[in-house]
Structure 1
Amino acid sequence: DVGAFTCFVDRVGVYQLRAFQECSYGPLARAMPLMLSEEQLHLNFGYNVLRRMAQHGPAYAGSKEEAQEAVRKWYPRALDMFGHSNSETSRKAINFGLKRWTNEEARERYIREVTPLVAAMGLELPAPEFDRRVL
């Protein structure tokens, strides 16, 4: 669970930070590089834990089946963390120059990034609508 949580949920955090990377509020824009570099360490940790479970199974500390189940659990939750697809607040943040992408645009970028990563581990992502609570 920890590996999948870190791999998927912390990656959402990176997208949320990147959305504000060139924002019109200077102090926030200047803080982004440090925050993004810190988050990258978390992503690498989570990805490596999942990959080792999927590829080495019990010899590492888990099984491919456990890794797949963790993907099925945390991927939908990660997609939900982007927020509602048609968020008016998100649109306003873009109009004010605070944010670069809508929630849905960020979610689509995220899906394009994680799909090949998970496939390279020999695991499968559930459909983007699977077990979602925030659409």
Structure 2
Amino acid sequence: KLDAFNMKFDAWSDVGAFTCFVDRVGVYQLRAFQECSYGPLARAMPLMLSEEQLHLNFGLSVLRRMVQEGPKYAGSRAEAQRAVEKWYPRALDMFGHSNSDTSRRAIEYGLKRWTNEEARERYIAEVTGLVSGIGLSLPSPDFDRHVQ
């Protein structure tokens, strides 16, 4: 069970953080299959990736506006930070177990480009810059994790 899809949305900040973090994991999952040895899947990737990009921009924009405009927009910096701390760990969990045999086999068969942990590390590097760029901070990658 993926916790991210079973958690309650309490505020607009949840929509922004979910879209920014969880949808971004989806992009990483798609990118992992971008050069897939299975032609139909590889050919479908460009359209799927371009569509997902719209979600990512929306989520980051919500969080940025909460930080910059506060209650005038739809919340506050504190609410945005709480949402980051709620959804970021769930997003990291979505990459799966670090030492997954299934992930390794998918790489061996030419289906995936990265292990779960490699994809998670790329993701962490990207979102660290994005989140600090809007004046928020990420918790430790081990904070409140359910899947290691």
State the TM bucket, normalised to the shorter chain.
over 0.9
Could you tell me which runs of 5 or more consecutive residues in structure 1 were left unpaired when the two chains were aligned.
none
Give the structure 2 partner of residue 71 of structure 1.
84
Matched, 1:7 2:20: yes
**Unaligned 5+ residue runs, structure 2?**
1-13
Counterparts of residues 11-26 of structure 1 (less than 5 Å): 11-26=24-39
Shift of 1:60: 0.9
Match of 2:136 in 1: 123
Q: Does 1:37 align with 2:50?
A: yes
**CA–CA distance in 1 between the matches of 2:54 and 2:48?**
11
Matched, 1:108 2:121: yes
CA offsets 1:75-121 (integer angstroms, 9 cap, x no match): 00000000000000000000000000000000000000000110011
Q: 1:99 aligns with which of 90, 93, 112?
A: 112
**What is the identity, as a one-letter code, of the residue corresponding to 1:133?**
H
| Structure 1 position 69, deviation (Å) | 0.2
How many residue pairs get aligned? The number is: 135
Matched position secondary structure for 1:79: helix
**Cα offset for 1:13?**
0.2
Q: How does 1:74-85 map to 2 (within 5 A)?
A: 74-85=87-98
Return the offset for 1:55. 1.5
Question: Under a length normalisation based on structure 1, what TM-score does the superposition of the two structures give?
Answer: 0.99
2:41 to 5, 20, 28: 28
CA distance in 2, matches of 1:108, 1:56: 31
Structure 2 match to 1:47 = 60
Runs of 4+ in 1 over 3 A off after TM superposition: none
* TM-score, length of structure 2 as denominator length: 0.91
1:130, distance to aligned residue in structure 2 (A): 0.1
Distance 1:55 1:131 in 2: 27
Q: What is the letter of the counterpart of residue 131 of structure 2?
A: V
Aligned amino acid, residue 107 of structure 2: I
